[in-house]
Amino acid sequence: MEELGERLMDKVVKLDERTWRAPTPWHAAVWLLRLSQLISQLGLDSAGTPVFRGQRDPSWEVIPSLSRIANQPAYQRALDRFCAALALFLLEELPDLDPQVHVATAQHYGLPTYFLDFTIDPVVAAYFACKGSTPGADAVVYWLPFNAALTLGARLILAPPWVRRLHRQRGFFVDLSSNAQVDIKKECYAVLFPAMPSYEEWILKGPEGEILPEDAWFERACNWALGDIEGSIARGGHALTDELRAKIGEPEWLYDAIIPSRLIDWLKTLVEVADWLALRYTGGSTGGRFVHDCIPLLILRRDNPGLVRAGLDVWEWMQQSPQLIKDKMVAHLFASFRKCERENEKRGGNWEVWSGRK
């Protein structure tokens, strides 16, 4: 397998300082999977962990969907209407939930937002690059270094538990609302390759199945929000929630948000994303160990306080439930969260200062 990987990687050629070309999506995916091993060879040690985004046309800008729309105020009102209605469904059970979780939901089911989808899995990114492309035309996977995203003022938004397609995609969001008109392509590196429908089919036939499972309730909710695009949310959240419930029925996703046993898949996705961004190997070839870098974890906590807190609560509940398998990776991550919080408090509570981010 190692020899096969080396042969595939030899086929990827460098075009310029930020661009490579692969002969197929498979070559691109394998090359990017090994990117963390290549960081030193490429001279990118200081850039930070890469995250990936596929686009089917390399000529497109890399900007959020809401930035590409002429009538932004009207679509922003539709987004506000959607988020205000959804928030009330969870107010009692999760009163401290981060508002952006509903923006993340809207992003995946048809409303323009200032979020950009990214994944920690280049295999998934290559799928989205091929999806809907003209066979043989150039497609692209961008990788954005973690530190470049932070320099842009971006916030890293975790997927909410009830958007199950994001578990399959190992996805999260980069919130560019503070810098929404900037094309971040110049901050990215790129791998070009010919789009191939066979790659898309290969992914869909894989053991994990459909990568974009439908959710009719959310799709109808987005259509409801867009149906009054020139309106406002002045009626208030409760009135909007009642209207939405009357139009499309009770939210089928609610149990995925409030019942701990149904949050386990989401918890594993949270661990995968956090580990990709923060897990480091220290020590030599023997006797080394994996540890979490506190800075990415504190950034995730800053940008997703409600979701991280919910994750900690679910983990603690799991410890009291002998029927559930105790996941060592989950335990390691949340122990690291707590350790990093203690370290931050010890240093005065302002990690952005002591880490040199400010």
Closest CA to 48 of 118, 122, 119, 149: 149
The answer to whether residues 221 and 300 belong to one domain is: no
The answer to whether residues 254 and 267 belong to one domain is: no
Instruction: Tally the C-alpha atoms within 13 A of residue 101's C-alpha that lie toward its C-beta.
Output: 25
Closest CA to 153 of 133, 172, 175: 175
The answer to whether residues 180 and 320 belong to one domain is: no
Task: Please answer whether residues 25 and 146 qualify as being in contact, where contact means their C-beta atoms are separated by less than 8 angstroms.
Answer: no
Residue 76 and residue 18: Cα distance in Å, rounded? 34
The answer to whether residues 232 and 174 belong to one domain is: yes
The answer to whether residues 199 and 272 belong to one domain is: no
Output the pLDDT for position 212. Answer: 82
> Per the domain annotation, does 355 fall within a domain?
no
The answer to whether residues 126 and 145 belong to one domain is: yes
> Per the domain annotation, does 354 fall within a domain?
no
If you ran DSSP here, which 8-state letter would residue 176 be given?
Answer: -
> Per the domain annotation, does 290 fall within a domain?
yes
Q: pTM (2 decimals)?
A: 0.89
Give the pLDDT means over successive 10-residue stretches in the chain (358 positions): 63 93 94 73 64 95 91 90 86 76 91 94 95 94 90 88 87 86 89 95 78 87 81 62 87 75 81 89 69 91 89 77 65 89 88 69
String of DSSP letters for 60-84: S----GGGG-S-HHHHHHHHHHHHH
The answer to whether residues 199 and 288 belong to one domain is: no
> Per the domain annotation, does 356 fall within a domain?
no
> Per the domain annotation, does 222 fall within a domain?
yes
The answer to whether residues 71 and 178 belong to one domain is: yes
The answer to whether residues 82 and 223 belong to one domain is: yes
The answer to whether residues 68 and 195 belong to one domain is: yes
> Per the domain annotation, does 308 fall within a domain?
yes
Q: What is the rounded (10 degree) CA torsion for 294, 297, 303, 304?
A: -140
Position 345, amino acid: E
Domain end position, chosen among 233, 258, 283: 258
Residue 35 and residue 144: Cα distance in Å, rounded? 12
Task: Provide the total of helices (H) and of strands (E) in the chain, helices listed first.
Answer: 17, 10
> Per the domain annotation, does 358 fall within a domain?
no
The answer to whether residues 245 and 333 belong to one domain is: no
The answer to whether residues 240 and 169 belong to one domain is: yes
Output the pLDDT for position 1. Answer: 42
What's the domain range around 324? 259-345
Domain end position, chosen among 229, 258, 287: 258
**Residue found by looking up tokens 């959710």 in the block:** 215
Output the pLDDT for position 172. Answer: 92
Task: Please answer whether residues 256 and 164 qualify as being in contact, where contact means their C-beta atoms are separated by less than 8 angstroms.
Answer: yes
How many structural domains are present in the chain? 2
> Per the domain annotation, does 353 fall within a domain?
no
Output the pLDDT for position 255. Answer: 75
Domain end position, chosen among 230, 258, 286: 258
